[in-house]
Structure 1
Amino acid sequence: MAKVNFTAGRVGSFQCEPGKSQSFLWDSSAPGLGLRVTANGARSYMFQAKLRGETIRLTIGDPNTWPIDAPTDGKGNPVGNGARQEARRLKTLIDAGKDPRQVRDEEHAREQAERAAKTAQEKADEVRREREAVTLATVWKDYVADRSSFWSDHHITAHNKIIQQGGEQRKRSPKLTTAGPLAVFSSMRLGDITMERIEDWAKVEAKIRPSSARLAVRLLKACLNWCAEHPTYSAIVSGNVAKSGKVREVLGKPKLRNDVLQREQLAAWFDAVINIRNPVISAYLQCLLLTGARREELAALRWADVDLRWNSLKLSDKVEDFRMVPLTPYVSQLLNGLPRRNEWVFSSMTAESGRISEPRIAHNEALAVAGLPHLTLHGLRRSFASLSEWVETPGGISAQIQGHAPQGVREQNYIRRPLDLLRLWHTRIEVWIMEQAGLPVCEHSAPIRLVGT
Structure 2
Amino acid sequence: MSRPLKSAAVDLSEPQDLTAGLIERLQCPPGKAQAFLRDRKAPALRVRVTANGAKAYVFEAKLGRQTIRRTIGDIRSWTIEGARTEANRQRVLIDQGNDPREVEREQTAERVARAKKAVAESVSVEAVWNEYLAARRDRWGDLHYRDHVAKAKAGGIKAIRGTRGRKETIAGPLYPLMQLKLKDLTPTELSAWAERETANRPTATRLSWRLLRGFLSWCSEQPQYAKVLPAQNPAKAKVVREVLGKAKVKQDSLQREQLAAWFNAVRQLSNNLAAAYLQVLLLTGARPGEILSLRWKDVNQKWQGLTIRDKVEGERVIPLTPYVAYLIDALPRVNEWVFASPSLEDKMKKKAMSTPHKQHEKACKVAGIEGMTLHGLRRSFKSLTEWLEIPAGVVAQLMGHKPSATAEKHYTVRPLDLLRVHHEKIEAWILEQGNVYFVPLAAPNRLRAVK
Q: TM-score, normalised by structure 1?
A: 0.74
Matching of residues 169-188 of structure 1 within 5 Å:
169-172=158-161, 174-175=165-166, 176-188=168-180
Residue identity matched to 2:233: N
Q: Once the two structures are superposed, what CA deviation does each residue of 1:347-371 show, in whole Å capped at 9, x if it has no partner? A: 1154467112231122212222333
**Alpha-carbon offset, residue 242 of structure 1:** 1.0
SS of equivalent residue, structure 1 residue 242: helix
Equivalent of residue 123 in structure 2, options 123, 126, 134:
134
Provide the C-alpha distance between the structure 2 equivalents of 1:256 and 1:34, rounded to a whole number of angstroms: 89
* Contact 1:294–1:378 (8 Å) recurs in 2: yes
SS of equivalent residue, structure 2 residue 5: helix
Equivalent of residue 301 in structure 2, options 304, 308, 313:
308
* Contact 1:33–1:87 (8 Å) recurs in 2: no
**Alpha-carbon offset, residue 289 of structure 1:** 0.5
* Contact 1:165–1:179 (8 Å) recurs in 2: yes
Quote the residue 2:397 is aligned against. Answer: 400
Q: Once the two structures are superposed, what CA deviation does each residue of 1:131-152 show, in whole Å capped at 9, x if it has no partner? A: 1122222222233333344444
Equivalent of residue 163 in structure 1, options 152, 163, 168:
152
Q: TM-score, normalised by structure 2?
A: 0.74
User: Quick check: 1:417 aligned with 2:414?
Assistant: yes
Quote the residue 2:21 is aligned against. Answer: none
**Farther-moved stretch of structure 1 (347-356 vs 385-394):** 347-356
**Please, which runs of 5 or more residues in structure 1 have no aligned partner?**
1-6, 16-23, 36-41, 48-56, 62-82, 91-96, 446-453
**Please, which runs of 5 or more residues in structure 2 have no aligned partner?**
19-23, 47-60, 73-89, 91-98, 443-451
Provide the C-alpha distance between the structure 2 equivalents of 1:407 and 1:202, rounded to a whole number of angstroms: 35
Quote the residue 2:85 is aligned against. Answer: none
User: Quick check: 1:327 aligned with 2:320?
Assistant: yes
User: Quick check: 1:374 aligned with 2:366?
Assistant: no
Distance 1:248-1:11 versus aligned 2 partners, 3 A rule: same
Distance 1:151-1:280 versus aligned 2 partners, 3 A rule: farther
SS of equivalent residue, structure 1 residue 324: strand
Quote the residue 2:181 is aligned against. Answer: 189
Provide the C-alpha distance between the structure 1 equivalents of 2:382 and 2:221, rounded to a whole number of angstroms: 40
Matching of residues 5-84 of structure 1 within 5 Å:
7=1, 9-12=2-5, 24=9, 31=14, 43-44=25-26, 58-60=35-37
* Contact 1:283–1:334 (8 Å) recurs in 2: yes
Matching of residues 255-294 of structure 1 within 5 Å:
255-294=248-287
SS of equivalent residue, structure 1 residue 169: coil
* Contact 2:393–2:403 (8 Å) recurs in 1: yes
Residue identity matched to 2:155: G
Quote the residue 1:449 is aligned against. Answer: none
Q: Once the two structures are superposed, what CA deviation does each residue of 1:47-104 show, in whole Å capped at 9, x if it has no partner? A: 9xxxxxxxxx94439xxxxxxxxxxxxxxxxxxxxx76578977xxxxxx979xx857
Query: Which has the greater radius of gyration?
Result: 1
Residue identity matched to 1:217: W
Equivalent of residue 217 in structure 1, options 199, 204, 209:
209
Distance 1:291-1:407 versus aligned 2 partners, 3 A rule: same
Equivalent of residue 335 in structure 2, options 317, 339, 342:
342
Provide the C-alpha distance between the structure 1 equivalents of 2:37 and 2:337, rounded to a whole number of angstroms: 84
**Alpha-carbon offset, residue 415 of structure 1:** 2.0
* Contact 2:15–2:37 (8 Å) recurs in 1: no
**Alpha-carbon offset, residue 405 of structure 1:** 1.2
Provide the C-alpha distance between the structure 1 equivalents of 2:417 and 2:159, rounded to a whole number of angstroms: 45
Matching of residues 437-448 of structure 1 within 5 Å:
437-443=434-440
Quote the residue 1:430 is aligned against. Answer: 427
Distance 1:380-1:43 versus aligned 2 partners, 3 A rule: same
